[in-house]
Chains A and B, each alone.
Chain A
């Protein structure tokens, strides 16, 4: 399923909320949690990570992966947490509004 850019950003921020992950970890987490509805391939994952990093919402640092490979781990920054909270709110607002519209009597 194609993910709109804004939604992808929201998903990545949410994926990083519990703790730092490397790139592959982010895409694994999104796939697991969404029961494989969303599959994020490297072609859209890495540009999105760079975009979020440039906006200052996440921060990358080198570390060691579970099977002892050098990997870049991303952490949610303070402004990233704020951004996530804001995006969650507006997402809920939008979803409920869309729902009302869809479920209203025709």
Chain B
């Protein structure tokens, strides 16, 4: 076992060097002494004997050097030979090498690019201290199907008070705030408990984060993000400690967050928060059932999520026992590790992309393997000759491995270039959901992945032909020479490759078909509003009341001015635009005639709107009326509901005139008030084009005023053309008003559609690649098989077969393989589609249209691949066949 002894020597050479040296020393000394003994015995003086022995030795050190070199020499020499030989062999078959390297580079490159997305989105540790201890705690209202609901201030207090599993619990609510001054600017503002950053394990880069005294009753303070600090304050470190005009008062900036800090909660959370300020009221005194807080918890060291879950179950029992309202809602808690929660929504899409890229790589590998196999069979004679000349089998396999390695090093280098290009492309189309995961690029883990994939490919490509060689019958190969008919085993292997390729291609094409169908379905969704020709922006209208005009009067004036702009058809305001990521407002609603307990399970999305809103959005009125001038503050409390809520609460009845207890925004905060329904509108898809989550209730802005307000301005033509006019009107009304997110409504729609288009684009691209590669693979394998059977074809033709017969024969064989591949592929696609289900919308996982199209495409690709080999077979010359016989 030559390799065993090689391994043993390698070990000795690396780790037992001193021992080896000592032994060599002793051996040489004993030999030297024996020589001296011998010369003395011949009558020399000891002196002369030593001299003679030394001459005989020609220098002991040189002898030692010679022995030491043996190890390295034997290995370096043969490795050098292998590499030189591999290089020559690859250069000799330039066409083969180019195709193999390009195919591999494509497969590995695409995978490397996608892996860098996987790494950035799913694997990279979050930029917090010891993120494994962090978890999110949600209220769980199972009977309302709200398993991951936000929490109220008093519940957070109860959790802090009663739980034992946590070091600390922090709360967050996101809203907006406006910096005033020369250039007023509205930013996303995170309201946090003072322990928020300590809980996350984040320290300020400049200054500090909040201290407890800045909470309840403290002076107003703010911590800004690195981005805001650079943009608005010119990265001036002296700004820390100074007061700036913010929200109609002065606040002190106490710190700047580090650049890598990023509030990465789940995608529905308001992300992109640029400033943080502590809650300065006592959260325990807020209404018990006003749910708005996200809770981030740090587990005590050594406490597992499971233990924390048990702790929370116990706390929930205590809380339900202490408060009747929580007992009625059957409050429990959900806890999830922060990383799992962050990646929850994006994971299926990313994994689908990764799997798609994996299939592409698989097909690439299959193609290269079949190429190598074809080549190795052409080299059977060469290998047999080398074997006959004394090369051990191990030596031949090592030679093949070296060739594989050389291929893969070349392919790996090219793959990085491919990955770079793919990444550039991805970053141009990547949706906000991916943009949120931070920079995606080629980094060490990604390069490591590429190296690992390349090495895996080496083993595969070296070993498959090597394994063939192991079974090589030297004599047979030499005798039959290159004419050896392709063995049954080899043909079976080639066929298996074709089947595998077709099957993998089908899985990809079905996946692509389903995602593309999903994309077209989502694009065609009627969302309950018309996004075209609609300009939107958000405004902290609370500012209007700081002028002496009064909030409502100021708002009305604003709408009048906007309506007066030429080209504007309608103007309306709302607390929440559809598809915006502004923190949602949803609360219980109690229809008249139901007890609080009965109604506890009924939640609705709340929005306050100005009278012009529905007309501006293009939302259809189904029954009753829109709000109008008569719905004033202090007047009869009225509401409009959507058809979804109407149907679920009052099925089959007229809703107009019904009364509900609905939550209003008053000077005392959120208060339930009896309200009469005056209209029904169509349902608006406010969270995503793909979901109809819950019913909606609309209150007149004048009766339930909230700031900020988002405006929808319906224009007759391109809404972007309105921007300068809109800016001018608003600034002339109040120069301190900051427009935020001034953009056409279509941007929201586009952003919402982006993940779907992104997945469809990517998986579609993979499918096209797979089709091309599969056609190439079928072509390669069949062409090779045909070229080995030209003699047979010649004989067939000589015996009276027509060219058509031969074409049919080869095509038939190709199509049988294709059919087998398709059958396996359909089964694989059916299995894979189950994992794809979460990504689909409006299309069944067994969509017949998709499967039919995939079958057609794959068969077409296979036919395309079979055609040339079949023509070649038909062109066989009977005379040639006879001659070579």
Contacts and interface: CB of A to CB of B under 8 A. Distances in A.
Given A46-B67, A47-B69, A47-B70, A41 B30 contact: no
A44 interface: yes
B2 A42 contact: no
Interface string B56-72: 11110011001101110
B28 interface: yes
Contacts of B69: 47
A22 B31 contact: yes
Nearest to B389: A90
Contacts of B67: 46-47, 50
Contact of A50 (B2, B5, B33, B70): B70
A79 B63 CA distance: 27
B9 interface: yes
A72 B67 CA distance: 15
A4 B1 CA distance: 26
A46 B63 contact: yes
Contact of A42 (B26, B31, B390): B31
A contact residues, range: 20 to 34
A10 interface: no
B885 interface: no
A51 interface: yes
A46 B74 contact: no
Interface stretch (A12-20, A63-71, A91-99): A63-71
A71 B66 contact: no
A24 interface: yes
Contact of B28 (A44, A46, A56): A46
A43 B63 contact: yes
Contacts of A47: 63, 66-67, 69-70
A55 interface: yes
Chain B CB within 10 A, most for which of A43, A72, A79 = A43
B63 A23 contact: no
A69 B63 contact: no
A54 interface: yes
Contacts of B167: none
Nearest to A52: B70
B27 A72 contact: yes
Contact of B6 (A22, A46, A54, A69): A54
Interface string B4-21: 111001000000000000
B311 interface: no
Contacts of A24: 31, 34-35
Contacts of B34: 22, 24, 65, 67, 69, 71
Contacts of B59: 43
A18 B6 CA distance: 26
A46 B27 CA distance: 9
B58 A54 contact: no
Interface in A41-91: 41-44, 46-47, 50-51, 54-56, 65, 67, 69-72, 79, 90
A71 B32 CA distance: 11
Nearest to B65: A47
Contacts of B74: 51, 54
B37 A67 contact: yes
A47 B69 CA distance: 8
A70 B27 CA distance: 8
A46 to B, nearest CB: 5
Contact of A70 (B9, B26, B35, B62): B26
B23 interface: yes
A72 B30 contact: yes
Contacts of B24: 46
Interface in B579-595: none
B31 A23 contact: yes
A99 B573 CA distance: 108
B63 A42 contact: yes
Chain B CB within 10 A, most for which of A41, A51, A54, A71 = A54
Given A47-B69, A56-B5, A42 B28 contact: yes
Contacts of A56: 1-2, 4-5
Contacts of A69: 30, 33-34, 37
Nearest to A49: B67
Contacts of A44: 66
A42 B27 contact: no
Contacts of A79: 2
B476 to A, nearest CB: 21
Interface string A21-38: 011100000000000000
A72 B59 CA distance: 20
A71 B31 CA distance: 7
A42 B70 contact: no
A29 B58 CA distance: 20
A50 B65 CA distance: 12
Contacts of A46: 24, 27-28, 63, 66-67
Interface in B519-545: none
A55 B2 contact: yes
Interface in B360-386: none
A23 B67 CA distance: 13
Contact of A54 (B23, B27, B71): B71
A12 B5 CA distance: 19
A24 B27 CA distance: 10
Nearest to A67: B37
B12 to A, nearest CB: 10
Nearest to B35: A24
A35 B35 CA distance: 19
Contacts of B58: 41-43
A56 B818 CA distance: 51
B62 A43 contact: yes
A51 B70 contact: yes
Contacts of A90: 390
Contacts of B26: 70, 72
Given A41-B56, A43-B62, A72 B23 contact: yes
A71 B63 contact: no
Nearest to B33: A69
Interface string B62-86: 1100110111001000000000000
A51 B63 CA distance: 13
Contact of B56 (A42, A55, A67): A42
A24 B390 CA distance: 30
Contacts of A41: 56-58
A63 B67 CA distance: 21
A47 B63 CA distance: 7
A72 B32 CA distance: 13
Contacts of B63: 42-43, 46-47
Contacts of A50: 67, 70-71
A44 B70 CA distance: 11
Contacts of A43: 57-59, 62-63, 66
B66 A54 contact: no
B386 to A, nearest CB: 15
A39 to B, nearest CB: 10
Contacts of A67: 34, 37
B57 to A, nearest CB: 5
Contacts of A72: 23, 26-27, 30
29 contacts: A22-B31, A23-B27, A23-B31, A24-B35, A41-B57, A41-B58, A42-B31, A42-B56, A42-B58, A43-B58, A43-B63, A43-B66, A46-B28, A46-B66, A47-B69, A50-B67, A51-B74, A54-B5, A54-B9, A54-B71, A55-B2, A69-B30, A69-B34, A69-B37, A70-B26, A71-B27, A72-B23, A72-B26, A79-B2
Given A41-B57, A46-B27, A69-B34, 19 more contacts: A23-B27, A41-B56, A42-B56, A42-B58, A42-B63, A43-B58, A46-B66, A46-B67, A47-B66, A47-B70, A50-B71, A55-B2, A65-B30, A67-B37, A69-B30, A70-B30, A71-B31, A71-B34, A72-B23
Interface of A: 22-24, 41-44, 46-47, 50-51, 54-56, 65, 67, 69-72, 79, 90
Interface of B: 1-2, 4-6, 9, 23-24, 26-28, 30-31, 33-35, 37, 56-59, 62-63, 66-67, 69-71, 74, 390
